[in-house]
Amino acid sequence: MLLVSDLTKLIATIEEINEDDVEGFMAYLEEIYRRFRIAKNDLLQKPFRNKSDFYNPYMLKQGLKLKTFDTADQFLSKYIKGDRLKNMISIQTLYIGISPYNGPSLYSMILMVDINQYYCMGIGDLFIILFHAFVLKYH
């Protein structure tokens, strides 16, 4: 079983894991995509040459929209109820060395970066290897 970029196949994979989590997963993707766009457009792709470029009311407002006060696990738990799917998604934070139970929800966007940029969809990729190892261990 692979996590794939094709949405139809992805939904079918999630249905195999826990059909009740499909709607929550779609809502989760919608929310992390919204946050991803804020981070990309207002933080990652902007030059910050002066302190005032970063420390201003607009940036404070945008930063608050990222809702980084929850842990990654708390944020994910709002959408996904099944432990198996939560664990599969949480591995995204683990492979950068952040615990989903302690790390901020900001790291939940890693999945959206992977899906948008197709970073972790190729056979032989580290994510695929880790994903399968995780599934085998917790299946």
The reported pTM is: 0.73
Q: How high is the pLDDT of residue 138?
A: 54
Q: Are 93 and 64 in contact (CB under 8 A)?
A: no
Query: In this structure, what token pair is assigned to residue 47?
Result: 């030059």
Q: What is the mean pLDDT of each run of 10 residues along the chain (139 residues)?
A: 62 88 91 89 88 93 90 93 87 80 83 62 48 53
Q: How high is the pLDDT of residue 106?
A: 82
Query: In this structure, what token pair is assigned to residue 26?
Result: 């779609």
Helix-then-strand count for the chain, H and E: 8, 0
| Max CA pair span of the chain | 51
Q: How high is the pLDDT of residue 75?
A: 93
Q: How high is the pLDDT of residue 59?
A: 92
Q: How high is the pLDDT of residue 5?
A: 55
Q: How high is the pLDDT of residue 81?
A: 93
Whole-angstrom Cα distance, residue 34 to residue 90?
A: 19
